[in-house]
Chain A
Amino acid sequence: MNTHDVTMKSQTPLVGPADAARYDSRFSSLASGTMSSAMRDLMAITEQADVISLAGGLPDTEAFPRAIFDGIVSDMGSEYLASSLQYGPTDGMKDLREQIAILMSHEGAHARVDDILITSGGQQAIDLSIRTFVNPGDAVLAEGPTYPGAVPCFTAYGADVTHIPLDDDGMRVDLLEEAYARLVAEGRPPKLLYTIPNFQNPAGVTMSLARRQRLIEFSHANGLLIIEDNPYGMIRFEGEALPTLFELDGGAGWVVYLSTFSKILAPGVRVGWAVAPPAVLRKMNLGKQAADLCSSNLTQRFITEYLRRHDYREHVARVNTLYKARRDVMLSTMEQRFPASATWTHPRGGLFVWATLPDYIDTKALQAKALERQVAFVPGEAAFLDGRGKSSMRLNFSGVSEALITEGIGRLGEVLTDFCALHETLHPRRT
């Protein structure tokens, strides 16, 4: 049968525009709050062919060896066919949780296998942890900027987010303490802190050891629950690995740890995980039951067998070499092509550079102009819940070749230079 026939036939009886109003009164408040439509419209055209997109956060999946993939799939077929095609426990496959405990120990984090919950990507881990703790209107702390993908989770559950500024040493823990005290004084102690200490998305910065220690001390003294999201810890190009907050917590139970295979292996498998104290894990488990019963056994098995047979660290080293070269090209091209009034972070790992422009530039307008030149980035506003970030932008270097980074940053530089010149003429300096 012709698939076109099928789609046209099945489309015909659908409800028309005039019927749309019937749903309006039925939509949940959860379904109503989302990203501003201007941002959505802007992002929709970044995905077109011919656009050099520095807007994504895509790891390079071409670097995954075909032979390894084929080998695992073939072994899965002979050894685990039925179980891979079956439902699994909500907590996830035990074999995989064991592998994750080993993997985490390589980062110096020691988790009990029973404290691990497999999730459908790191994204679900974020969603579950926020939904487990946050009631509408609850105060929540997060870095400013924070992970743009966490923004819809905060919005959906009605979190009232206070952003804590970052500098080159990561989150300003002193400012966190102030914000915390202020919120407590207002009678709204924050429910939790969501933080990405390593190679933060979008800022690219890493929290220093001193700040990690101070944060954990503060958390213990005040009972501040921390959600530590760590997809990028191993995507390190230089410098020493720092202990995770989870490890520094020392089993005191104030840190819920989240991570994912998306950046170290492949986002297509949609496998992430959470580590939490049993009481918390039970609630997250309930949330996951409601969301999807269990993550795919097929991809959990794939990851498990991959981890059993191969040293994932070789793969990580391979992509890190690739990303480091791309980062270097991005930073050096920015140095040459961006106007002097722009500043940006110098990430030592991860996937992103965060650039801040003169405050008269609105990066949404810049994005519109840049799209005419076929270059895209993420306007900074996407990383805030309070409308800040207007003059900042996130640039991704992992998913684009060095040649395209050079070209893309070059074009962006021209658009930027143009904007700055125009600003000069519109605001002549009075002497």
Chain B
Amino acid sequence: MSRVAVLKGGPSLEREVSLRSGTNVELALARLGHEVIPIEADQHLVRTLREARPDVAFVALHGRGGEDGTVQEILEILQIPYTGSGVLASERAMDKVVSKALFRNAGVPAPPGYAFNKDAFSKMGAADTLPEMQQKLGLPLCVKPARQGSAFGITMVREPGDLGGAILNAMGYDDRVLVERFVPGRELAVSVVMAPEPWALPVIEAVPLGRDFYDFEARYTPGETELRSPRDVDDDIIQEAARVSILASRTLECRGITRVDLILDDDNHLWVLEVNTIPGMTDTSLLPKAAEVAGIGFDRVVADMLDLAALDV
């Protein structure tokens, strides 16, 4: 039995999700017999952690601050082992631009894209490259803030004239913006346990209810989705999804349990969109669903995450 601090909340846009993940994790930890110390990741976080003196920190934060290496650095300094990825891996995974570059080198299939930060536009006239970008990537495009979880600030560009507006919108969420080819297809998620010999939980498909699978709104507009094992997908594709997901998580040097989001396109090609170092643990999240399908249950996932808790140095 350990004293486990569950870090949740925080000021990111995904605060609400984090609170729901955190509550579920606390319940599981209590069932597993641990002493649970719920901690709100506010401006007193360091002081609270010092006073609480936990054996280990369970990071149930999502988005900026909690998932980008910041909290991880604090835990490194305080020498409190924590769940999930280390400082650099968190940073790499949070930044879709950095991930994409690393994926390219490692042979992880990812949609092609370009990225610029705000200064490139305001100080170096990068806007003049928009036509080339469009030409090289082709329409439709998907414009995303580089470091933001969920679907915040993501816009699909169908018309040539709309790219500038989409970039402006994404800039609300991050100073760096990624312009990526939009790959239509089915949405898959693979949770990877980064044990010494990494292994993947069953592939889960997110099927938007009452909407066209392939459409962008369905993918990025929160609505009702059914999570289930993919139907009519060849076994070798499932195997391949697991393989690239493990490869992607390894490439970023992740720890703990990651969740890799992929697209399976019409030609049965897989594309990695991103690696989440702190997968959602809410009632409607993908990782708990994968655990259910695997027949191992939520508590076991939480126990595994705790077992894999560590420090970078």
Contacts and interface: CB of A to CB of B under 8 A. Distances in A.
Contacts of A367: 172
Grouping DSSP codes into helix (H, G, I), strand (E, B) and loop, the B interface class, with mixed when no group exceeds half, is helix
Nearest to B284: A20
A18 B150 contact: no
A37 B152 CA distance: 11
A56 to B, nearest CB: 17
Interface string A36-47: 111011101100
A367 B168 CA distance: 13
A38 B172 contact: no
B151 to A, nearest CB: 7
A360 B162 CA distance: 10
A44 B127 CA distance: 34
Contacts of B16: 40-41, 44
Contacts of A50: 43
B156 to A, nearest CB: 14
Interface stretch (A62-70, A134-142, A422-430): A422-430
A49 interface: yes
Contacts of A431: none
A366 B291 CA distance: 38
A45 B168 contact: no
A306 interface: no
B24 A11 contact: no
A12 B118 contact: no
A37 B225 CA distance: 14
B175 to A, nearest CB: 9
Interface in B290-307: 291-292, 297-299
Given A17-B24, A20-B283, A49-B42, A368 B125 contact: no
A19 B222 CA distance: 22
B146 to A, nearest CB: 14
A170 to B, nearest CB: 32
Given A38-B222, A41-B150, A428-B127, A14 B27 contact: yes
Contacts of A18: 288, 291-292, 297-298
Interface stretch (B6-14, B47-55, B89-97): B6-14
B81 interface: no
A419 interface: yes
A291 to B, nearest CB: 27
A239 interface: no
Contact of A41 (B13, B130, B164, B165): B13
Interface in A20-48: 20, 36-38, 40-42, 44-45, 48
A16 B24 contact: yes
B169 interface: yes
B127 A426 contact: yes
Nearest to B121: A425
A365 B173 contact: yes
Given A8-B30, A42-B13, A362 B152 contact: no
Interface string B11-29: 1111111000000101110
Interface string B269-294: 00000000000011111001001100
B105 interface: no
29 contacts: A17-B24, A18-B288, A18-B292, A20-B284, A36-B222, A38-B150, A40-B16, A41-B15, A41-B16, A42-B13, A44-B15, A45-B15, A48-B42, A360-B165, A360-B168, A362-B169, A365-B168, A365-B171, A365-B173, A366-B172, A367-B172, A368-B172, A369-B173, A419-B171, A419-B172, A422-B122, A422-B168, A426-B164, A427-B165
Given A14-B27, A16-B298, A426-B121, 18 more contacts: A11-B27, A16-B24, A16-B31, A20-B284, A37-B222, A38-B222, A40-B16, A41-B17, A41-B150, A41-B152, A45-B13, A360-B168, A364-B172, A366-B172, A368-B172, A369-B173, A419-B172, A425-B122
